[in-house]
Chains A and B, each alone.
Chain A
């Protein structure tokens, strides 16, 4: 059974204070690891897909990295508008198209 654990549950940063969110996973044959952002009252918004260890992807102040056991979402010089819940999910070779989600990290960036 695919499993995803995210840490920390909540993170408060000052504007400009860089940090990282962690996503640890176990999966039978990784097909993809996904990062989503979810704002209150909204659906998850797709950010990145990573397919193999060593892969990195960037988008504005966000960079996602992947190893064989975990993924990190690095946030560089965050702004208040980066405040959201960040969700990590995996898709395994035996799970068809389904995504298994972690509980998320609630990020708050104070001005």
Chain B
């Protein structure tokens, strides 16, 4: 059963520490997204990549967040330094470019990385 895999599932860290979240997209998917979910804001897009190239990172605080795709099977989201307001669930999702026949435009989510910054 193909799925998006995220690590770590849970992370508690102290303010100022670096946090790295990793994502393995579904094999064959060429578009990878990072979303953040909080009670106040709901699901908001941080960044997304197509064919490993960043297409849009306008939702991401540039001073402390960075997102990369070192290869087609790995996406990373890094926060440095972390702050308490970064506490949230971070979801990775993957899909195919609109217009392709397989699975249409649907994107599939991982189980999330639950981050608490104290």
Which residues does chain B contribute within 8 Å of A51, judged by CB atoms?
Answer: 104
Q: Which of B42, B109, B112 contacts A104 (CB under 8 A)?
A: B42
Which residues does chain A contribute within 8 Å of B108, judged by CB atoms?
Answer: 46
Tell whether A98 pairs with B48 under 8 Å between CB atoms, given A43-B91, A44-B91, A91-B98: yes
Q: Which of A42, A46, A104 contacts B106 (CB under 8 A)?
A: A46
Q: Which of B44, B95, B98, B110 contacts A31 (CB under 8 A)?
A: B98
Please state if A97 and B31 are interface contacts (CB–CB under 8 Å). yes
Task: Report the count of interface residues on A (CB-CB < 8 A).
Answer: 23
Q: Looking at chain B's contact residues, is the secondary structure mostly helix, strand, loop, or mixed?
A: strand
Contact of B105 with A by CB under 8 A: yes
Query: What's the nearest-Cβ distance from chain A to residue B52, in Å?
Result: 14
Complex-state Cα separation, A104 to B95, whole angstroms? 22
Q: Which of A49, A91, A96, A101 contacts B42 (CB under 8 A)?
A: A101
Contact of B12 with A by CB under 8 A: no
Of residues 96 through 111 on chain A, the ones whose CB sits less than 8 Å from some CB of chain B are 96-104
Of residues 78 through 105 on chain A, the ones whose CB sits less than 8 Å from some CB of chain B are 87, 89, 91, 96-104
Contact of B111 with A by CB under 8 A: yes
Query: What's the nearest-Cβ distance from chain B to residue A97, in Å?
Result: 5
Chosen A-B contacts, 13 in total, with CB atoms closer than 8 Å, are: A31-B105, A32-B98, A42-B111, A43-B4, A43-B93, A49-B104, A91-B105, A96-B56, A97-B105, A98-B45, A99-B33, A101-B42, A104-B42
**12 further contact pairs, Cβ within 8 A, besides A44-B43, A46-B106:** A32-B106, A36-B109, A44-B91, A46-B107, A46-B109, A97-B48, A97-B97, A97-B98, A97-B107, A100-B45, A101-B43, A103-B42
